[in-house]
Amino acid sequence: MRLVLAIVLGIPVILSATTYGGNGAEVHTHDLMTLLMIQLGIIIFASRVGGALFTRFRLPSVLGEIFAGVCIGPHMLGGVPLLGFHNGLFPLSSSNGIPVSPELYGLATVASIILLFMAGLGTDLKMFLRFSLAGSVIGIGSALIAFSAGAGIAAFFLNLPITAPLPLFLGVVSTATSVDITVRILSENKKLDTPEGATIIAGAVVDDIFSIVLLAMITGYAVLEGVHVSSQWFHVGIIGIRAVFVWIFFTVLGLLFSEKIALFLKKSKSIDTIAILSFGLALILAGVFERAGLAMIIGAYIMGLTLSKTDLSLSIQDKLQSLEHFFDPIFFTTIGMFVNVFSFLSPTILLFGIVFSLGGIIAKLVGCSIPSYFLNFTHLGAARISFGMIPRGEVGLIFAGLGLSTGILTQDTFAVSVMMAVSSTVVGPVVLERLLRKDKKGTRHDIVLVEKVQVRFHCSSSDLADLVERNVIDAYSSEGFYVTRLESDHGTYHFQKEDSLITLYRDGVEMIFETPVDDESYVRNILYETMADLSSLVNTVKKLVRPEEMKKEFAQTAQRVKFNLGHVFRPELIEMDLRSDTKEGILRELVHILTLNGYIVDEAGALKVVWDREHAVSTGMENGVALPHGRFSGVNELTSVIGFHREGVDFNSMDGKPAHVFVLTLVPSEVQAPYVQFLAAIASALNGPQRVATLLEKKTKIEVLDFLKECNDDSREK
């Protein structure tokens, strides 16, 4: 912590003493790049802190990132003069009405392209087409009502005609829908494949298409302000027709040639290269759309939509996640910097923001719930769809940022737009999550999106399940499937090839394959071949490996092990006098100690994993030491308890002698923990009969800890 503070506090001093040589242009460029690097570092830390803070209160992390941007932005802390930074770390810029530097805004623009490209990749076209009618009605209905309400409220508060560019643009901001935030909520609740989930996605896509076309038209209309009215509307009509034509042309072209584009990308063989090249195509198409007078984000979305119907979509998303995770906070934090909180000191602007936000939320509720109710959805289903369509999120912020950068929005109206986007992003997900928890259907009649079946395979232990899982993944990969592991759910995999999409879930030791009916026999055959290969492998291992001999070699080899045992053992986890006289009884006593001290809850489950390990090969070593252990999902870190039995207990030790010292260890099933290194450190510390005898002479727990530390230090120094 001292080092971090020294670095942070020392940066201004170092930079204030730094001089740059060369001509003026070189000095200026060098200064700009230096400041940009420092700004990026601060943004990364600030966004993570803000995101973590809001997540703790069960709010979307994106709101925390925006809040961080508000705090460190040029209108607040970023504009405070510091030593070496006379205008602050984030000086207020006047370039094209954008409050941040062009360099930082450029990175935020790249981030917005990544966002929309990934959103396009995540669009399920089959699902969209299946619910295109319901989604189109709901999407267009909600967009029209939200646009009218937003423009009307803006015209009233700004005292402008409703046909003026500013109210119309605020109406466009009000129509936006953030499908990414809603998809995240649906995915976490496993409701993506429900009728409500499919309708929300289809409606959001139609809503965003409608919004983007309106965005192009209103932006063009604002540029033509002051031109004769008839000429204005003629040019606006041309812009609208061009926007629709370009959208349809490139969308149809992309979908028609999507497989050929995928084949071209596959020539590189490496999925990493494929992902990078696909993003390159998104950047190119974004530039083409910008040159055509449309927004870059439209081109990025279309490129994502084009690749979404190929078997590369999930793999590209997986490979670009790190890039998205890096740039996303930069975008949202930079957007937060646009907000001038002092604008809300004006009662009029504050009231405007509150009414505009409420109007936007109510408009979406009305625009979605009424048509939903007449399209086979119950009141609950209509409510789920309505609240799923409420969040404006990053799309609303992108629209607002575009309005500010083009000069259509003022700082005050931009702040109002951000308030609406943020408030809707808070209300929508919170209510939607509660509605999804209700175990009731959202439709009057059952609807099956895709007829699927589940193939279940039960493994006897988590270790076997891990082994089968790895081999199944290898089998699908060798069959030409693209394998993607869901980051939000570490036990879920997607296997995708052409039109086949198979999902593997893990439920403890049970493996569940969810597959279309047509692929059921293929899944069972893959599973059969995998088990046959594993059976052959086990027979080979039995011929080559003799566990008892390996255990004896391990016990007899004293070696230098870098592991601090003092970080594991605690006084409450030491039992000086075990009473049981059987192996099973000793294990029960030790596990019960962990339960009594609050380290585990599922005592029976912990005992089972340790006992299963004992059945495989006894953990009784030499010289009276036993090291029972096992992987257990009920602990979050390596946990160990030590006990002593003066008379000794038969533990099937390799030297045939009773065991006196028992070290029972549990390690997490999923989280990485150095338990093999820990076992080696224990074996090394207690290597030799003299050390064990000395340990048994100790009378108190503190003496035991001190002696173990001494033995551990000796073994680490060998």
What's the pLDDT tens digit per position in 238-282?
A: 766 777 777 778 878 887 888 888 888 888 878 888 889 999 999
> What is the residue extent of each domain of the chain?
2-79, 102-436, 452-544, 559-716
Q: How far is CA 322 from the centre of its chain?
A: 10
Tokens of 260: 């050929």
Phi and psi at residue 665, in whole multiples of 5°?
-130, 135
What's the pLDDT tens digit per position in 61-120?
A: 777 888 898 899 888 888 888 877 788 888 887 665 577 888 888 888 888 888 778 877
Q: Is 161 exposed, middle or buried (0-12, 13-18, 19+ CB in 10 A)?
A: exposed
More confident residue, 566 or 114: 114
**Residue recorded with tokens 């052959």:** 536
Tokens of 628: 């029972």
Tell me: pLDDT of 38 over 50: yes
Instruction: State if pTM tops 0.85.
Output: no
Tokens of 618: 């006894």
Across the chain, mean pLDDT equals 79
Judge contact between 495 and 485, C-beta under 8 A. no
Predicted confidence at residue 27, as pLDDT, reads: 44
Predicted confidence at residue 618, as pLDDT, reads: 83
Measured CA distances, 661 to 556, 586, 624, 683 (Å):
17, 11, 6, 11
Look at the domain 559-716 and name its fold. Mannitol-specific EII; Chain A (3.40.930)
What's the pLDDT tens digit per position in 507-545?
A: 777 888 888 887 888 888 888 788 888 777 777 766 665
487-515 in b/e burial notation, b at 16+ Cβ within 10 A? eeeebbbbbbeeebbbbbbbeebebebbb
| CA 536/CA 532 separation, integer angstroms | 6
Predicted confidence at residue 290, as pLDDT, reads: 77
Q: How many CA atoms lie within 13 A of 243 on its CB side?
A: 23
What mean pLDDT do residues 563-570 have? 74
Picking from 449, 25, 563, 406, the residue whose alpha carbon sits closest to that of residue 202 is 449
- Helices within 514-618 (DSSP H only): 520-544, 547-556, 583-596, 603-616
What mean pLDDT do residues 432-459 have? 76
| CA 175/CA 165 separation, integer angstroms | 16
Judge contact between 647 and 666, C-beta under 8 A. no
What mean pLDDT do residues 372-397 have? 84
Predicted confidence at residue 126, as pLDDT, reads: 66
Judge contact between 218 and 150, C-beta under 8 A. no
Judge contact between 515 and 451, C-beta under 8 A. no
SS3 per-residue string spanning 41-70:
HHHHHHHHHHHHHHHHCCCCHHHHHHHHHH
Judge contact between 285 and 294, C-beta under 8 A. no
Predicted confidence at residue 19, as pLDDT, reads: 42
What contacts 280, CB < 8 A, 6 or more positions away? Answer: none
Tokens of 500: 């086949």
- State what percent of residues in the chain have pLDDT above 90: 12
Predicted confidence at residue 349, as pLDDT, reads: 85
Q: Which amino acid is present at 124?
A: D
Q: How far is CA 590 from the centre of its chain?
A: 38
Judge contact between 624 and 657, C-beta under 8 A. yes
- Helices within 269-312 (DSSP H only): 271-291, 296-308
Please work out, in degrees rounded to the nearest 5, the angle formed at the alpha carbon of residue 208 by the alpha carbons of 132 and 501: 50
* Helices 24-56/61-72 angle, 10° precision: 140
Query: What is the SS3 assignment for 405?
Result: helix
- State what percent of residues in the chain have pLDDT above 70: 81
| CA 486/CA 498 separation, integer angstroms | 19
In the chain, the N- to C-terminal Cα span, in Å, equals 32
Pairing of strands 639-649, 574-575: parallel
CATH number for the region 102-436 comes to 1.20.1530.20
CATH 1.10.10.10 assigned to domain 452-544? The reply is: no
More confident residue, 319 or 239: 319
| CA 43/CA 47 separation, integer angstroms | 6
Q: Which stretch of 12-21, 499-508, 590-599 has the lowest confidence by average pLDDT?
A: 12-21
Q: Quickly count: other Cβ atoms within 10 Å of residue 5's Cβ.
A: 9
Tokens of 335: 């957007």
